[in-house]
Amino acid sequence: MRYRTIGTDPGTRREVSVLSLGAMLFGTATDEATSFAILDRYAEAGGTFIDTSDNYAFWVNGTRGGESEALLGRWRRSRGIGDEIVIATKLGARPDAPTSTFTRNIEGLSARVIRESAERSRELLGVEKLDLLYAHVEDSAVPLRETVEGFAALVSEGTVGVLGASNHWAWRVERARSLAAAAGLPGYEVLQYHHTYLRRHSDRPTLRSSDGNPGVTGGSLLSYLREEPALALVAYSPLLSGGYTREDKPLGEDFDHPGTPVRLAALRRVAKDTGATVNQVVLAWLIGADVPAIPLVGASSVAQLNESLAAADLELTPEQRAELDAAQ
């Protein structure tokens, strides 16, 4: 396993594995015994970066979430896990009431919600400090300064370490970071977005934005990250839920454009050349990209996890990477 640093403050920054494990469905769709086996294997392999959220996974059983955090808390206690494992969680997208469908009615990012949600997450996870806490989605109804100050207060109190944002337009991230910097407050240092080798349409209207999907990594975000190398990018759904390899998992209309078959062909050529799987090449491409990403992978079995773990040590040659990058 290889490692990199997230955060810049010597008092809160953490070293994490270059492959992150997503715990979204642990405790709901993935039963406890299987979840524990996957977590054990990840830790055994040197994995140190686990991702969850306070709303995971409300849609499975019609709740408000919390099942994933609660399971991770039980796993930590049963295994005697301390601060050697970094657990990232998110807040702001928890539904206002139990539901099985995605809704506009979510808690948002007010100072009150930030404080109450962080306290609930700490209790469920069984930790004194949240290593990494994300603003899960944008909240334009709350003044951005209130959100910035709400997160910063938890850092100053020592109950949160590093701050992050997920599914925000790049300009909103920059505005929040500028507000924090001007006030001498900690700001977002880790950004979590959908990112993979294939390029997807990002301008289709979504539940939360008629302008498109702010959670998709596009040119605006990538150019921003090049200018701000201290920011870390975490790439969720890098393997498209099996879309690269499974016929029963079609890519969907977001990938219905001329560039998709060209990039898929390049990906398969490089996979054949390396002797690795297509999924492993995708993960290796993300880890070693000019804007490096920490792939956030899910797994419903130890075998699935093992495939992803092997990608952490896969080094693409400059020629292989050039071929992948040049495919349009």
User: How many angstroms separate the Cα of 217 from the Cα of each of 42, 193, 203, 287, 293?
Assistant: 26, 6, 12, 15, 11
pLDDT band at 247 (very low <50, low <70, confident <90, very high): confident
The residue among 85, 92, 57, 91 whose CA lies nearest residue 71 is 57
This prediction has a pTM of: 0.96
The amino acid at residue 63 is: T
Structure tokens at 141: 């109804």
* Per-residue pLDDT at 63: 98
pLDDT digits (tens, 9 = 90+) for 302-328: 999 999 999 999 999 999 999 999 998
* Per-residue pLDDT at 211: 81
* Per-residue pLDDT at 112: 98
292 pLDDT exceeds 90? Answer: yes
pLDDT band at 212 (very low <50, low <70, confident <90, very high): confident
69 pLDDT exceeds 80? Answer: yes
Q: What is the mean pLDDT of the chain?
A: 96
In eight-state DSSP terms, residue 92 is S
* Per-residue pLDDT at 301: 97
Mean pLDDT, residues 5-20 = 97
239 pLDDT exceeds 80? Answer: yes
Mean pLDDT, residues 222-239 = 97
User: How many angstroms separate the Cα of 234 from the Cα of each of 23, 122, 174, 192, 195?
Assistant: 14, 22, 17, 5, 8
pLDDT band at 87 (very low <50, low <70, confident <90, very high): very high
Domain architecture of the chain: domains with CATH = 3-255+276-316 (3.20.20.100)
Share of the chain above pLDDT 70, in %: 99
Mean pLDDT, residues 38-44 = 98
Structure tokens at 107: 């808690």
What span, in angstroms and rounded, lies between the C-alpha atoms of 230 and 161?
16
Number of Cβ within 10 Å of residue 1's Cβ equals: 13
What span, in angstroms and rounded, lies between the C-alpha atoms of 82 and 138?
31
Share of the chain above pLDDT 90, in %: 93
pLDDT digits (tens, 9 = 90+) for 96-153: 999 999 988 999 999 999 999 999 999 999 999 999 999 999 999 999 999 999 999 9
203 pLDDT exceeds 80? Answer: no
Q: Is 126 buried (19+), middle (13-18) or exposed (0-12) by CB count in 10 A?
A: middle
pLDDT digits (tens, 9 = 90+) for 157-193: 999 999 999 999 999 999 999 999 999 999 999 999 9
257 pLDDT exceeds 80? Answer: yes
The residue among 51, 55, 72, 73 whose CA lies nearest residue 64 is 55
Q: How many residues does the chain have?
A: 328
